[in-house]
Each structure stands twice: as structure tokens, then as C-alpha cells.
Structure 1
């Protein structure tokens, strides 16, 4: 048998499934708002025994639509890079990821479809059907074309008023459309129950003028003292001190959202021979010569009396900021050149990011997508080439964060991470806890780190119940995995009360991951053992490293390393362990020195 079950369970199913049969996938679902009048996106979880599964077949109303691998190549900007990654793996070193999503296209409006999915083994045989899921496409939405409201789309005229007029006129369930053209705009404000579509050939281009972004935009946390400017696209109350709830917002399309934040240094050719933008990597001493919108906004804040450091760290606009929104879908578009972060979700619930492209390297602080004190998120089939963290989770700062909701329940899969400070990042704002994160079946080549967990000894909270598995990494510049209390942001403003409790990372499992050509460190753990601040409950299982990187552990308790193997580790033992206790090593090659087996 390919998988082990208790005897009674095996007997119970033997009459319906042959003993050699593959298990069907589980938890087939349609992500939040991942459907319209023409398509429906499906995702599912792999069965427990998936080692021999090579594809998944999707059926609609009993008819085969196709396989997930081929379909993913049609819809996901990550898939060509993932394929190239494995083509270059001539040694067959890397773990092979599984694709577990499908976009059913060309569907009829306002029509119900019944979907099932079957696992496909190496022998080509299918499993039984998954449980059925039923989903209806929407009716054709009422269309509000921004050109009919006066937008020029010529890249010169400011179209803010015309686009906002279309949004304000939009009826429940409508679509506001930016057709082909370049629409220069300042801050736009979305409302509930609408879709904003940036069509293929269309660019929403942020104005480079500070005055086109309201100074009174939002505060990051309830206890923050700085009011930040509005972003290019917002779902926010016009008064940042007031509460306003939103629901059911979609931002979609094959077009571009360009923040116009920085000067473009040059284009570079990636590993596929494709041109990628390279923005000037600036800071708070060089923004005057490097910045566009970033320059204008920092200058405005300095003119208002703010010091340069705080102005640079607090007063640049992101591309998208949504707060207190239930049900969000981002799909298909390309993100370019934010003055600050890319997509920010604050205190949101049920957010999906699918099939998007993020080309923000090396724009300072140019994160891909961020979630703060939010619940329920899916991030899949995306390409990230960013100037900061790719997928980041935050949960508040310091002592007051204990009154906030945690950041929780996220699923990140089938993404390709090229440049970025980290593939998946927890922190540095950990005050209300970041918890229940599953990252699986992802590929990276060239990020600084893979799993990056960062906090300080005065931040409080931490991250817990995190799983990072079934993934492949190459050319990590710094650490493949880092858990640190030694993080410092030179642009951060200490506008909160410090916690007396250090951040902590606990109950983190890393399994079935390969890391090729790891550089600075394979695994780095930095607690604060001098002050009794330890990370704990880390488990590394079936993780393979190649390259010169070593393990550096300090301030860790009650953790396990099993089947962690190094090749080409150079001279000396790769394990450097100190100020830790309760560590268990099993089938670790090369093995730690006996004195370090604590």
C-alpha cells in the first residue's frame, strides 16, 4: 500500500476503492470572490499521500475540462519561471511542487456548474472524484466605462475626477472599467460591492504630484500617532480617525497599476530572457535625485515641519490600501513602481491574491502584498520580483498591540519568488501574534531569505503555528530560514509603547524543502538568551541544503532537526549551536559536534 492507515479504516473503504488507488484531493473550494460572469477559480488541498501524484484532472458537470498543470501555464505568470527552474535542475536535486488550482474559463453567465477533481498518478490512472462543489457564475455586470465619465487615458491629463465619478456612479455588483490607455490619477476611493477592472493594454499611472494624494489618509494602528497619506487605490474612510466597513471588492484585469514612485534605472534580462524593470534603490539620503512621487511626498512632509527620517519612513503612498474590508479579490494585473508598499490589507477578512505580477525591484520598501491584523487570506499563482518583502504579515507594535486582533489563517502556494527580502515574512510587527500560516509548493530563485521571521526584544507577541513545506529554493542571498529578535528598521518611528515581553517564534514546522547554493546561512536562530527570550518548538524535517551556508543557532529551546542534510558544505562542521537547550538531532548529515547535541 502506498500509504498507511489503521486496519479498520482500510477495511471500511476497501469495497469502494482498490488498494492501489490514489486518494482524491480534499477541501475543493472556490476562493473568496474568485469568479465572475465568465470564469471560476478552483483550489484544493493535496491528499495526505501525494508523493506519486503528478497532476489533477478537473471535471465540470461530469465532463473533463483539463489538467491543473496545463491550465496553470495559461493563467499563472509564475508557471513559466517554475518550469524554467526545474529545467535547470539537471541533478534532480529539488523537491517537485504540486499545482493545485484551476481556472475554468469561457463559462456562461448566471449559470450553475458542478465541479469535481481527481488525482492523477505517474501511471496515468485517476483517483475517485473529490467531493462535489457547486458554483454559479455571476450575471453580466453593469459596466461603467471611465471614458464615458470624461477620462482621457492619454497619460498626460489628470483623470482622477473622471475615474472617481465612475466609481461613485457604480451600482451594486457593477464593474468600473479602464479600457486600453494610460490613466494618470491621484488617490481613488472604492466602495463596497464593486469590481475595478484595469483592462489589457490599460495602465493606471499614479500622479507624481504630492497634492494629488490626500494628506489625511490612514493611521497604521489605532495607537499610531502619524497620519499617512492616502494610496493610489483605497478603501478607507475619508476621515482616518473614523471607522467604516466595506465588503465585496474586486480589483482585476490584465493591465498595469504603476505607482510612479521612483526613476527607472534600466531594464534587466531575467533568467528567461524577459525584460524586468530595475528602479533606483534609494533611501532617506538619496530620494531627491532618485524619487518621483516619493520625492514630492517627502518634500511636502519636510516643508510641513517633519524631520527627513520620519517623512521618508511614513509619508510615501502605497499602491493599494484597504482597511476593514470583508471579501476581497485581486486578480491578473501587474504592479509596478510603488513609492512605498505595494498592496496593503489592514484589518481585512477573506482576501485572495491570484495570478498577479509584481515588478517592483529595487524600489525601496516595495513590498508585494502585506496583511496586518487580518483573518483569512490566499496568495497563489503570483510572480514576485520586489524591492522588499514579497508576502508579509504584521500584527501591531509593542504593549498596546495586545488589544488588537491577531494576524491569522493564511495559505500561500504555487508562487514564484525572484527578488525580495523574503518569500514569506512574519514581522517585524508581531505584537498581537501572527498565527496559522501554511506556505507550500512555492519556488524561489534569488530572494534574500525563504522564511523570514523577525521581531525585537520589545515588540511582544510573535508568530506561531507556521508550516513551510514542499518547496524549492535556489541562490538565497542571506539566510534560507531566519528567526531573529535582532531586527532594526532604520526608517521606523517609535510611536508606540514598548512591550516588556520579547517577540517569540514558536511551533514552526519546515519539511520537504530543498535549498541549492545557500549563501550566508542555511538556518539562523537568534533569540535573546541573556534576557531569557528563547524561540521554541521549531521542527525541521527532510530538508536538504547545498552550498557553503551553515546553521547558526543561539537562544532556542525544545526543537527538533530530523533528516537535515548538507552537501558541499565546505570545511568544518556546518552546525554552530550555543545558548540553547532541549535540541534533538536525528539523521542529520553531517552531524553536529557531540557537545552541541543539547
Structure 2
């Protein structure tokens, strides 16, 4: 029998993985379960329910208590919740409920009240934001604490940015603090943020709302105003052992969750939401991070669902801020809408390694697995895997693009030329992509497009058990990747230019060209 695994555990919530055969985000059939407390003698209790998803969150647990979990087809699991050193109610510190979004004075009073509440939490304790609508300027969390968003709680940012705090580009030791698209840059602080903390948990059934649509954030996506770039929804900087459990985060001013320089991060059972036309509202962007797990999370956003990054080399070769990302696992997630399901880059100059997306559902995303880089980035992308994933209504299932036309010079000839260029520190490398047991339904443009550099071809791509079930009859010919000189495509298979592909079904590899003008040489 299969043993359930504990993905994350706090004093009041447990995230379990129940990987029945065929389960992706959803179980194929609802699974009956039983949870029993083993402490308290006659006060012990039993709870029964149905698990409709592969990742199940058990809420409302009691700290320091032993439990037994049972589900048909699984071994019995016993576990113990950790203790809580003390419970602090944020309402006891003078929070004002239901103030107007543009009430800057009220939002400042609430931010000050929350700061006092955070300070009052004992080491290993919990701060509860109770049911209600609470509007506050950005709050900074500390380590060795839990922020618990109660069911019915909405912690939201104000619509005004007058007096909004700013994170500088670097801290006192010269390390990157504020950032924008992979470079040090002053940015407005996220509504909830933490810098250089350990052992932090953010959890609950409540909501973090960035109020992106309520202010002017979405009207200046690439600008600097007031000396800073737009804030994230949740920004975690240089922190370790962070757990995110169960909450909904929506309407971020820019990237929704941005872990930057973090280690040992666990996220399970989240809902990450933004309108489809909101600019750069990526769902979850781990940058220069190690050991990250994203599981059982639902995405519906205005840009990439998950974008794995590692900083960007500056125009003058600046690289002291760069650090690799290594070890990101994405399991049993649902990507309902977004530019890409699992994306690598384009900021990848520090190197991105050992990334896996497994047992997920991607529905209506523009692309499924997407790698994007360009000359000038440098860095290596290696060991990327997609396994047991359903792509339904995805326009281009797989893509690796080394001519991505980002930045002001993205359309310059030296970036877009298909002629061989000299190798150097700015030459990006892609080595190692595995795709296995992927099902494509309602395909629009192409099953795969792999466009490498002639001086640095994409290497070691292995595709097996790829099935194209159906095509989108309403689709129209469209260039499938964001590079110049790429022809429109419709219902095509796997196209290759300057890439080394091994496929167990040679019939999936097309002889058609990607570029409008075929390259001078061929490499496959």
C-alpha cells in the first residue's frame, strides 16, 4: 500500500500528499478519509471527509497533538503537530476594520498596529488575523513565528501609495534587497514581506489582497515612479525554512509571490489569482533559491504561473548579485490560465538547475513547459523535467527559445541573428530537458519548438510517451514563441533548429523550419 507523505506541517495545519495512480491536481475520484485525534481520552475526536485533490490540507488542528490519518488504499499515517508558544490576536492591538481603500491614515494606523502585534509574538508563537477586512500599508514579518489568516480574514493593501515604504536596491552589506527583473533596484515593499528571517510560516484559509486593480499599479508595468518599481504581492528575501499553507493571494501589484535568495521553502494548497489582463502578475517566481517545493496549488494569473529565475547579468556585465537556483519541485498543481505553466527564465544568468514539474494539470495556458533566454544572459539551464502532465488547451506545449526578444535591445541583430556568434560569458547554455508521459489536448500551434543558438545548440533533450490527443479547431496560425523571424504555425508537431532531440516516436519530429529563413546549417 502507498504511504501518504507529509509535505508541510504547522501547529494547526497539515498538508498531505495522496498520490493515487492517475492523480494530478485532482483525484480521479473523491477519496474518503478519516482523521482522529489520539490525545485527550474521552475528549478525543474523529473527523471524516472527502479528498478531491491529491494534496489535502487538514485545517483546525490542535498544537502539540497526536493524530491518525486513514484513507482507502493508503497505509495508516500517524503524526504530531508541533507546539505553539503563544497565540496573539491582531485585533487586540487596535486594528480598524472596514476602512476605505484610499484611507491612507487608517492604513498607516493598521500597519503600526500589526507591527506591534508582530513584535508581541513570542518565539515559536502565532499571530492571528481574525475574520474581517483589514486594510494596511506593508507589514514586515519576523522569523520563528506563524502568521495565521483566519477563515473570512482579508488583509489588503490600500489603493494609495502616498507614504508607501520602499526597499532599497541593496542592504548595508551591498547584497541585493530590492529588485526588478533580475537586477538590483529600489522597489516598493510588498504588502507582506520578510527579509533575512528563518522559520516563518504563513497559513490559513484567509486572503492576502494586493489591491493591484484598485490603485494605479497596473497602469505603469515597466516604469519607475516615486523612485521605485512596483511591489510584489508577497516578497521573501534571503530567508530560510519558510512554509506557506492554504491561503489565497490575489491582485498583486506585480509578481504575486517572489522568494528571492531563499532556501528550504514549502508551499502547499495555495490559491494564486490575478485577472488575465493584469500586467506581469506572475504567480510564483523563485529567484536564486534552493530547495523549493510548490504542491497542490491553483494558479490563474495574468502572466507566467511559475517562473523560475536566477537574476540577470547587467548591460555592462554586472554579475555580483547573481546566484543559482537549484532544486525546485512542482507537484500536483493546477495552472488554469497564464502565459506559461512552468517557465525557466528569461532572467537565468546565475544558472537554473534540477527543476521538475510532475503530476500537474495545465489548462488554457499559452505554453506548458517554457524555457526562454537570449544572447547576453550567460548562465546554464540544466536538468529540467516534465513528467505525467496534462496540457489541455495549451497553445504551444513545449518551447525552448534562445532568441527571446526581451529588453530594449531584444530585437537587435546581434540578439536575433541565426548566424553563429563568438562564444563568451554572455552566451546562454541549455543542457538537459526530459519530457515523459505528457498528454496534449486541443493543441493550437505546435507540440514543441526548440530554437537554439548556432554557437551553443540546445543539448540532451529527451522526449518519450508524448501523446497528442486532439487539436483546437478554432486556432489560427501564430508564431509559437517570442523571437524574431519565426513563422506562424498551426497544429504542428515538434520543430527543431539548433537543438539535439531524442524522441521515442520519430514521427513527432517535423522537418519543417522554425525561422522564416532557414539557418545556414542544421543541427539535430
Q: If the length of structure 1 is used for normalisation, what is the TM-score? A: 0.68
1:358 is the counterpart of 2:272: yes
Give the Cα–Cα distance (whole angstroms) in 2 for the partners of residues 507 and 108 of structure 1.
Answer: 45
Give the 3 Å change call, closer, same or farther, for CA 415–72 of structure 1 in structure 2. Answer: farther
Give the Cα–Cα distance (whole angstroms) in 2 for the partners of residues 365 and 296 of structure 1.
Answer: 11
Give the 3 Å change call, closer, same or farther, for CA 302–352 of structure 1 in structure 2. Answer: closer
Structure showing the higher helix proportion among its residues = 1
* 2:337 paired residue number: 419
Aligned counterpart for 1:485 among listed residues 392, 402, 405: 402
1:168 is the counterpart of 2:119: yes
Q: CA deviation at 1:249?
A: 0.9
SS in 2 for 1:162: helix
Q: Does the aligned pair in 2 maintain the 1:210–1:297 contact within 8 Å?
A: no
Give the Cα–Cα distance (whole angstroms) in 1 for the partners of residues 404 and 131 of structure 2.
Answer: 44
Give the Cα–Cα distance (whole angstroms) in 1 for the partners of residues 304 and 437 of structure 2.
Answer: 23
SS in 2 for 1:419: strand
- Structure-to-structure mapping, 1:183-262, within 5 angstroms: 183-217=134-168, 218-220=177-179, 224-236=183-195, 245-262=196-213
* 1:328 paired residue number: 242
- Structure-to-structure mapping, 1:98-113, within 5 angstroms: 99=54, 101-104=55-58, 107-113=61-67
1:562 is the counterpart of 2:513: no
Give the 3 Å change call, closer, same or farther, for CA 505–72 of structure 1 in structure 2. Answer: farther
Give the Cα–Cα distance (whole angstroms) in 2 for the partners of residues 142 and 188 of structure 1.
Answer: 20
Aligned counterpart for 1:379 among listed residues 289, 294, 298: 294
SS in 2 for 1:160: helix
* 1:552 paired residue number: 495
Give the 3 Å change call, closer, same or farther, for CA 47–107 of structure 1 in structure 2. Answer: same
Aligned counterpart for 2:11 among listed residues 36, 40, 62: 36
1:139 is the counterpart of 2:69: no
Please list every run of 5 or more consecutive structure 2 residues that lacks an aligned counterpart in the other structure.
39-45, 101-105, 169-176, 411-422, 472-489, 516-520
Q: CA deviation at 1:206?
A: 0.8
Give the Cα–Cα distance (whole angstroms) in 2 for the partners of residues 191 and 164 of structure 1.
Answer: 10
* 1:72 paired residue number: 51
Give the Cα–Cα distance (whole angstroms) in 1 for the partners of residues 96 and 425 of structure 2.
Answer: 55
Give the Cα–Cα distance (whole angstroms) in 1 for the partners of residues 273 and 181 of structure 2.
Answer: 31
SS in 1 for 2:252: coil
- Alpha-carbon deviations, 1:9-32, whole Å to 9, x = none? xxxxxxxxxxxxxxx447x64334
Q: Does the aligned pair in 2 maintain the 1:166–1:176 contact within 8 Å?
A: yes
* 1:465 paired residue number: 383
Q: CA deviation at 1:54?
A: 7.3
Give the 3 Å change call, closer, same or farther, for CA 511–346 of structure 1 in structure 2. Answer: same
Aligned counterpart for 1:527 among listed residues 444, 449, 452: 452
1:576 is the counterpart of 2:501: no
Give the Cα–Cα distance (whole angstroms) in 1 for the partners of residues 90 and 212 of structure 2.
Answer: 24
Give the Cα–Cα distance (whole angstroms) in 1 for the partners of residues 391 and 409 of structure 2.
Answer: 30
Give the Cα–Cα distance (whole angstroms) in 1 for the partners of residues 200 and 68 of structure 2.
Answer: 25
Give the Cα–Cα distance (whole angstroms) in 1 for the partners of residues 304 and 78 of structure 2.
Answer: 36
Give the 3 Å change call, closer, same or farther, for CA 574–331 of structure 1 in structure 2. Answer: same
SS in 2 for 1:192: coil
Give the Cα–Cα distance (whole angstroms) in 2 for the partners of residues 229 and 210 of structure 1.
Answer: 9
Q: CA deviation at 1:139?
A: 2.6
1:318 is the counterpart of 2:236: no
- Alpha-carbon deviations, 1:404-434, whole Å to 9, x = none? 4421112111111111111111111111211
Give the 3 Å change call, closer, same or farther, for CA 512–575 of structure 1 in structure 2. Answer: farther
Q: Does the aligned pair in 2 maintain the 1:208–1:293 contact within 8 Å?
A: no
Aligned counterpart for 2:427 among listed residues 502, 515, 518: 502
Q: Does the aligned pair in 2 maintain the 1:455–1:503 contact within 8 Å?
A: yes
1:406 is the counterpart of 2:324: yes
* 2:372 paired residue number: 454
- Alpha-carbon deviations, 1:268-317, whole Å to 9, x = none? xxxxxxxxxxxxxxxxxxxxxxx534559999x4465xxxxxxxxx6111
* 1:84 paired residue number: none
- Structure-to-structure mapping, 1:41-60, within 5 angstroms: 41-43=15-17
Give the Cα–Cα distance (whole angstroms) in 1 for the partners of residues 281 and 257 of structure 2.
Answer: 9
Q: Does the aligned pair in 2 maintain the 1:294–1:339 contact within 8 Å?
A: yes
Give the 3 Å change call, closer, same or farther, for CA 597–459 of structure 1 in structure 2. Answer: closer
Give the Cα–Cα distance (whole angstroms) in 1 for the partners of residues 392 and 221 of structure 2.
Answer: 37
SS in 2 for 1:411: strand
